[in-house]
Chains A and B, each alone.
Chain A
Amino acid sequence: MMRLRQLCRDFQVGDQVVHALDHVDLEIRSGEYISVMGASGSGKSTLLNILGLLDRATSGTYTLNGADVSTLDDNALAEQRQENIGFIFQSFHLIPRLTAVENVELPMLLSGTPVAVRRERAQEVLEAVGLGARFDHRPDQLSGGERQRVAIGRAIVMKPSLLLADEPTGNLDSRSSTEVVEIIEQLNDDGISLMVVTHDPDLGERARRHLFMRDGKIISDDGDAA
């Protein structure tokens, strides 16, 4: 479903070149549950962003559902993100002036879904993440865990095939973390591919496949053979 071949991502910082990803090979099949761990600066977020089409490779190829994404233009990338990929960020990235249900609706709003349809779908999703009673609350009226659950709702409202989470529990206490993890694992059980970047070994351990990175390289991958 997703395949990286000899993929590099270099950053030019002053007169120095940082190899954030250094000839990475990776294959992800649909429905997988992968955790990415490694020291700070090892390239975990960069890998996630490339997979999520938020960033482009310097060299190498990335094939998504059989198509080489380097041929896609800016608008086509936006469309792919909208349809296939859901993002969960450490800092939630909710729009403060919109209510929970409106934040969840946002991708559908952008895709031109009529109000009635998207409202019903957003409520359904909010109920699925356990926020049935919080539709009309703005982000500043919600706890951290609740905010992240709204963000999860927004990530899955378009029924993407891949869910990318960059330290989703990084800003949460342990109880909220457990709730959030249980929700995204439930989504994975329902068939969505899940990739979680984390510093938390316990959380990393829960995945079925574990990647370890160092200096832009994947140094261990226990699912590659499968």
Chain B
Amino acid sequence: MLLRDVFRFTGRSVLAHRMRSILTSLGIGIGVAAVVLLTSIGEGINRYIVEQFTQFGTNTIAVQPGKANTLGISAGVFNSVRPLSLQDAEALLRAPYVLHSVPAVSGSASVEARGRERNVNVFSVGPEFDQAFRFRVSRGTFLPHDDLERPRAVVVLGSTVYEELYGNENPLNDRVRIGGERYRVIGVMESKGDMLGIDLDDTVYIPAASGLTMFDREGLHEIDILYDDGANVNEVIAGIERILVARHGGEDFTIISQQQMLDVLGSIINVLTIGVGALGGISLLVGGVGIFTIMTIAVRERTGEIGLLRAVGAERSRILQLFLGEAVLLACLGGLGGLCAGVGIIAIVNITIPAMPASIAIEYVGLALGIAVLIGLVAGVLPARRAAAMEPLEALRTE
């Protein structure tokens, strides 16, 4: 029998019961659609997060006070931990490959200018913040290199803060009140958008020492390090560790590299994606049971036909092939239908809700289709073997 004729014959059998075939394929179709949808949303979220984290470069390292132990609780809560100081931040500039070392304290406060008031994020950072994170000012300058402990009271406004308080007017050298203290405006940032939900444009930037006073903190929230692209991240971390251990007399700080963070996030999202994919897998399984049922019925209904085919020369292996082919065809129809539905829904989501991150995970789509075929084979093998095992004469006599 020519392969083309095998396809055509099984196709005719599937087409002969249109409604029944569609309903049978539906189970697999829903499973594949679910896998495509869920994994695509997972992949979309993954990409979104990676984008968020890497928009300011991947060669950054954060140093935080306190040592996270294996329980994930900062030991600093219980032990006396030396806070990270402005001097620590300055000292880290001497670590190998370190390009910028940026002390950071953050919080929120109200800003008043020209009789208007607005609640904003306050980033109190070192003067190299703009270079480390590729920020640019649109007017004036960023925070100056100043006396570490006693910097001048100056502020750089985020673009939204500027527009809300000043409209189009020149803000430079104007006085604003932040958390009750007076600051002189020396610059306005270019618009930057969001980072993990924080509106960087609705933020004001003041010197790190001012932030420590404003929020009444002993030490920094974090020191952000930017290192040379070509450097090995482990060497950079070792250098930072050496300097801080020498200054603190112990390891009472935590170093997190951007890369580590991405790895951890990536693995969490992978686990989620796999779990969600497994849910779709369950509907595939149910679809498989449907195919098994229908094929069992088909073999019983067409016993006479099996006898006839055997009488006019079909071998057992041919009967097996034809019925197995029918099961796989049903599964493939379902798989393709589900794939189209899934991809269609994602396309619609992407057009109608651009904020919803969804992007098709090709490897999962391939996997879902492969599994659909496999399910067709597994579901079809028992009924097909029963058909092939029939004695031609007995099959012919069954009415």
Contact = CB atoms under 8 A, between A and B. Distances in A.
Interface string B356-399: 00000000000000000000000000000000000011001001
B1 interface: yes
Interface string B302-320: 0011011111111111100
Interface stretch (A110-118, A128-136, A193-201): A110-118
B248 interface: no
Contact of A95 (B308, B313, B316, B399): B308
A97 B313 contact: no
Contacts of B58: none
Given A109-B5, A114-B2, A82 B12 contact: no
A54 to B, nearest CB: 5
Contacts of B1: 109-112
B166 interface: no
A69 to B, nearest CB: 14
A111 B313 CA distance: 8
Interface stretch (A25-33, A71-79, A168-176, A184-192): A71-79
Interface in A77-110: 78-79, 81-83, 87, 89, 91, 93, 95, 97-98, 106-107, 109-110
Contacts of A79: 313
Given A93-B307, A97-B12, A97-B16, A106 B312 contact: yes
A156 to B, nearest CB: 11
B15 to A, nearest CB: 8
A55 interface: yes
Contacts of A114: 2
Given A98-B12, A109-B5, A112-B1, A74 B315 contact: yes
Given A78-B310, A79-B313, A93 B393 contact: no
A118 to B, nearest CB: 9
B2 A97 contact: no
A154 interface: yes
B74 interface: no
B313 A54 contact: no
Interface residues of B, number: 26
Nearest to B313: A82
Contacts of B16: 97
Contact of A54 (B15, B305, B314, B396): B396
Contacts of B316: 74-75
Contacts of B305: 93, 95
Contacts of B308: 93, 95, 106
Interface in B283-316: 304-305, 307-316
Interface string B221-265: 000000000000000000000000000000000000000000000
Interface in A30-77: 49, 52, 54-55, 74-75
A25 B12 CA distance: 45
B56 interface: no
B312 A107 contact: yes
A22 B308 CA distance: 27
Contacts of A89: 396
A188 to B, nearest CB: 20
A110 B313 contact: yes
B311 A87 contact: yes
A166 B213 CA distance: 107
Nearest to A151: B308
Contacts of B311: 52, 54, 81, 87, 93
A110 B396 contact: no
Of listed A74, A78, A98, A158, residue having the most chain B CB within 10 A = A78
A115 B7 CA distance: 13
A226 B317 CA distance: 43
A91 B304 CA distance: 10
B393 A87 contact: no
B270 interface: no
Contacts of A112: 1-2, 5
A65 B174 CA distance: 115
Contact of B392 (A54, A110, A158): A54
Nearest to A55: B393
A57 to B, nearest CB: 13
Contacts of A87: 311-312
A121 to B, nearest CB: 14
Contacts of A111: 1, 313
Given A97-B16, A109-B1, A81 B393 contact: no
Given A54-B392, A93-B307, A93-B396, A75 B9 contact: no
B58 to A, nearest CB: 61
A49 B392 CA distance: 10
Contacts of A81: 311-313
A107 B313 contact: yes
Contacts of A75: 315-317
B64 interface: no
B108 interface: no
Contacts of A106: 308-309, 312
A92 B383 CA distance: 25
A154 B307 CA distance: 15
A61 to B, nearest CB: 20
Given A78-B310, A109-B9, A111-B1, 15 more contacts: A52-B311, A54-B393, A78-B314, A81-B313, A82-B312, A87-B312, A89-B396, A91-B399, A93-B307, A97-B16, A106-B308, A110-B309, A112-B2, A112-B5, A158-B313
> What are the 7 A-B residue pairs with the smallest beta carbon separation, nearest first?
A82-B313, A97-B16, A107-B312, A93-B308, A54-B393, A75-B315, A78-B315
12 contacts: A75-B316, A79-B313, A82-B312, A83-B313, A91-B399, A107-B312, A109-B1, A112-B1, A112-B2, A112-B5, A115-B5, A158-B313
